[in-house]
Amino acid sequence: MTRKGKENLTAYLFLSPILLFFAVFFCFAVGFSILVSFKNWNMLDSPVSVPFVGLRNYVGLFTDPLFRAGLVNTIVFALAVTFTSITLALFVAIALYKLKGSAIWRFIFFAPMITPAVAVGKIWTYLYNPSYGVVNHVLGWFNIPARAWLSDPTLTLPSIMIVAIWSGLGVPMLIFTAGLDSIPTSYYDAARIDGSSKVRTFFSITLPLLKPTTLFLLVTGMINAWQTFDLIYIMGGAAPAASTQLVSIFMYNTAFSYMQMGKALAASVVLFVISLFTTLLALRSFRKGGMESYYA
């Protein structure tokens, strides 16, 4: 056998467990989801024998007011949480950059992120409690009237967004810190000699050079945010369903409470299409230089 042929054989032999895994838990699953989303299936019958119903599941989704509310909420939630946490993380990273004891700061900002979302959700449910919660109590010091943070339909989603932002600052902050490390100090020296103000230096040096990092964080942050489930599942129970509905929650309930698997699969495919759109953006951001080196 030629050297090339032998190397091919070894490589695929080494990869076989990995390829088997992706065939079973990835390719099969994606194919199954797309195919059965066009069928009327309830988990008990065989998915092969149940009839195709064309686009009925998708039409059903988009005429369902709860799903439409979920779609709007998902987009609002993902955009608001991603943009806010990245902006905040940038400022925190710059503020803490030259500070002493950075390991302690890092720990403080990371702790919420490694805490299970279930626990984070529960803790904040107590803090937000309208009668004995600390949030209302503290706001009371400033004469701000008490509110029902997690049952008032206009307040619930924003209240949960605040928690999502609080718990998601760690990673972007760290990646920004790594980005700041890669900016040569000579640029800052030059700016100082030219008498550039701090604000001007930020907008003309720091921000443009962090652009690939920022873009990359936006895209990966968004892909995660589309899939938010745990926090809303734990915290959203007291508010009217439509106000905290997300595509993910809708899909979960349709599947595992109502057993309408076809419709639930259609919802997951919609979520997938939204993610795919973000992925295409991601690939563009890779090409623009953020992750170029990884493709080499």
Partner 1 sequence: MVYPFLWLLSASLMTVREFISVPPKLVPDVPQWGNYTAVLQRVPFFRYLLNSLVVATSISLLVAFTSALGGYVFAKMDFTGKKTLFRFILATMMFPNFLFLIPNFFLLTRIGWVDTYLALIMPFAVSGYGIFLLRQFIMNIPSELIECARIDGASQFRIFVQIIIPLSLPAMATLVLLTFVAQWNNFLWPMIITSFTPSLTTIPVGIAKLNLSFGSLANQHLVLAGMVIQVLPVILLFLFLQRYYVKGIVMTGFGGI
> Does 223 interact with partner 1 (rule: CB under 8 A)?
yes
Please say which residue, 156 or 268, places its beta carbon nearer to partner 1.
Answer: 268
Binding window for partner 1 (CB under 8 A); candidates: 113-121, 152-160, 192-200, 202-210: 113-121
Query: What's the rounded Cα separation, in Å, for the pair 234 and 156?
Result: 12
Closest CB 291 distance from partner 1, rounded Å: 7
Site for partner 1 in 49-88 (CB under 8 A): none
CA distances from 146 to 17, 130, 159, 160, 183 (A): 57, 7, 14, 17, 46
- How many residues at the interface with partner 1, by CB under 8 A? 89
Which tokens hold the place of 267?
């919802």
**Distance in Å, CB of 192 to partner 1, minimum:** 27
Q: How far is the CB of 259 from partner 1 (least distance, A)?
A: 11
Which residue among 1, 48, 99, 114 contacts partner 1 (CB under 8 A)? 114
Contact set for partner 1, span 124-183 (CB under 8 A): 124, 126-127, 131-134, 137, 166, 170-172, 174-175, 178
The tally of CA atoms less than 13 A away on the side-chain side of residue 188 is: 12
Per-residue binder mask for partner 1 (CB under 8 A), 242-281, x = binder: -----xx--xx--xx----x--xx-xxx-xx--xx-xx--
Which residue in 96, 230, 241, 243 binds partner 1 (CB under 8 A)? Answer: 230
Q: Does 94 bind partner 1 (CB under 8 A)?
A: no
> 195-220: string of b/e by CB count within 10 Å (b at 16+)?
ebeeeebeeebbeeebebbbbbbbbb
